[in-house]
Amino acid sequence: MKFGILVLMVILLAVVVGLFYISFKILNKVRQEERAENAGKVPARQLHPKLQAELQQKREQEQAEQNNK
């Protein structure tokens, strides 16, 4: 009886380890596919409104300087 329980526990442990292996393998495959999809995309980022205003002012100043030259 004890031997049967021991064998059953070993089999269950092997199944759990196998499932972990398969899940990590699939996860890595999905990560690679996502990296390939997102390789050309620029991440969508937004500046804080204050920084956006400063950037806009800086661009306007540079444009005004170029127009004066």
Q: What share of the chain is helix, strand, coil (3-state, %, to 5)?
A: 85, 0, 15
Cβ partners under 8 Å of residue 52, min gap 6? 46
Using CA atoms, how far apart are residues 42 and 12, in angstroms rounded to an integer?
Answer: 45
pLDDT at 22: 99
pLDDT at 5: 95
Total count of domains within the chain: 1
Does the global pTM surpass 0.75?
no
Token pair of 10, please?
Answer: 């070993």
Residue 66 lies in a domain: no
Residue 28 lies in a domain: yes
Residue 32 lies in a domain: yes
Residue span of the structural domain in which 28 resides: 1-39
Residue 63 lies in a domain: no
Residue 18 lies in a domain: yes
pLDDT at 23: 98
- pLDDT per residue as tens, the chain (69 positions): 899 999 999 999 999 999 999 999 999 999 999 999 888 887 778 888 899 999 999 999 999 888 886
Residue 13 lies in a domain: yes
Residue 69 lies in a domain: no
Residue 29 lies in a domain: yes
